Amino acid sequence: VIGRILSGKPIAAAVLQSVTERAGSLISCGIRPQLAFVMHGASPPAQVYAARLERQGERVGIQVARRELPEDVSIAALEAEIAALNADDAVDGILVQMPLPPHLLGIDLSSIIDPRKDADGITIQNAGRLYLGLPGQAPPTALAVMQILHAASVKPTGRHAVLVGRSNVVGHPVAELLLLLDATVTVTHRQTDDLGAFTRQADILVVAAGEPRLITADMIRPGVVIVDAGINVTPEGIVGDVDFEACKEVAGAITPVPGGVGPVTNAVLLRNVVSSAERRGG
Ligand code: NAD
């Protein structure tokens, strides 16, 4: 079948349904799962994101608490805030607003967030556990890609998975997760020569480059399963990294943007928080 659209919405709804049940069990034991969202400056997009997170959290039984720090907060003050959240037994997950402004880039979030509260899967411990194939908390976007493949009944074993992008939050962890499922994995990036020569070999193509329409129909093989994590704001609206209209005529299955990876990522972030809260509950 060509052109199957892998909508993220029903997949996100199923994840949220299970999160709601798990949070409900915790609440009935007196544990209210809580995610602390640490903000530095309240830019309009950050406010919109925070409000959506709060609304979604409320629906599933997770309290989302904003910690609004000033835009010019120092590294030391941000570190102190994270240390306080690490020490606060009522907090299960810590999420820091991204991207960081230039004056905060020197902070080493991967070392200072308690790995047990690492909702975004960015700590050294969780990255190491992923690399070693041990249970831990991986970045939500990477887990969302895997959740979509699973929901679409795509079996990565023995298939050639090609990643476009190797960032620490998408490409690189997805490569590890696919290797754990015995896919044959190729990781491409900005310096890759002749990108199409690799993408045309893919049975599974996962794209997270941040470049609108980087992947065109001539760069894919008929029947490929495409997961597009790209989110690009363009004059025509939000688009992914894949030329969706042309590629859906060639691909076996493809995620739309928006409405693909994004909603599943938000749901998986909340699942990470409820998993942390379950560990608090013993
Ligand atoms: P990043 O800038 O950290 O990494 C981009 C990666 O893509 C790099 O490894 C780079 O080498 C590669 N790349 C860039 N241009 C390329 C090209 N022309 N050819 C081959 N490789 C190229 O970005 P990121 O944080 O991984 O985000 C990537 C995209 O995914 C962005 O559009 C971002 O908005 C989106 N994103 C989506 C979610 C989500 O929830 N859906 C989450 C995080 C990021």
Q: Tell me if residue 68 falls in helix, strand or coil.
A: strand
Provide the phi-psi class of 153: left if phi over 0, else alpha when psi is between -120 and 50, else beta. left
Provide the token pair at 133.
């194939």
User: Percentage of residues in the chain with pLDDT exceeding 70?
Assistant: 99
Q: How many residues does the chain have?
A: 282
The average pLDDT across 83-89 equals 98
21-30, 41-50, 140-149, 257-266: the lowest-pLDDT one: 41-50
pLDDT above 70 (res 227): yes
Cβ(209) to ligand 1 under 6 A? Answer: yes
Cβ(119) to ligand 1 under 6 A? Answer: no
The average pLDDT across 7-17 equals 98
Atom number, ligand 1, closest to the C-alpha of residue 241 = 32
The packing angle between helices 124-132 and 171-180, to 10°, is 30
Cβ(164) to ligand 1 under 6 A? Answer: yes
CA 103 – CA 164 distance, rounded (Å): 29
> What pLDDT is attached to residue 221?
98
> What pLDDT is attached to residue 280?
84
Instruction: Identify the band that residue 3 occupies on the pLDDT scale cut at 50, 70 and 90.
Output: confident
Provide the token pair at 248.
């859906």
Who contacts 239 (Cβ-Cβ below 8 Å, separation ≥6)?
Answer: 212, 213, 230, 232, 257
Instruction: Identify the band that residue 281 occupies on the pLDDT scale cut at 50, 70 and 90.
Output: low
pLDDT above 90 (res 2): no
pLDDT above 90 (res 127): yes
Residue nearest to atom 4 of ligand 1 (CA): 167
Across the chain, mean pLDDT equals 97
Atom number, ligand 1, closest to the C-alpha of residue 262 = 41
Evaluate whether 6 touches 148 at the Cβ level (below 8 Å). yes
The average pLDDT across 115-138 equals 97
Cβ(261) to ligand 1 under 6 A? Answer: yes
Cβ(188) to ligand 1 under 6 A? Answer: yes
Peptide bond before 258: cis, by omega within 30 degrees of 0? yes
Instruction: Please tell me the distance between residue 211's alpha carbon and the centre of ligand 1 in angstroms.
Output: 7
Residue nearest to atom 14 of ligand 1 (CA): 209
Cβ(214) to ligand 1 under 6 A? Answer: yes
Residue nearest to atom 42 of ligand 1 (CA): 141
The average pLDDT across 102-120 equals 98
pLDDT above 90 (res 28): yes
pLDDT above 70 (res 91): yes
Per-residue pLDDT tens over the stretch 173-215: 999 999 999 999 999 999 999 999 999 999 999 999 999 999 9
Residue nearest to atom 39 of ligand 1 (CA): 262
The average pLDDT across 157-172 equals 98
Cβ(266) to ligand 1 under 6 A? Answer: no
The H or E element spanning position 63 is strand 63-69
Instruction: Please tell me the distance between residue 168's alpha carbon and the centre of ligand 1 in angstroms.
Output: 10
> What pLDDT is attached to residue 1?
65
* pTM as predicted: 0.97
Per-residue pLDDT tens over the stretch 42-75: 889 899 999 999 999 999 999 999 999 999 999 9
Residue nearest to atom 3 of ligand 1 (CA): 167
> What pLDDT is attached to residue 282?
64
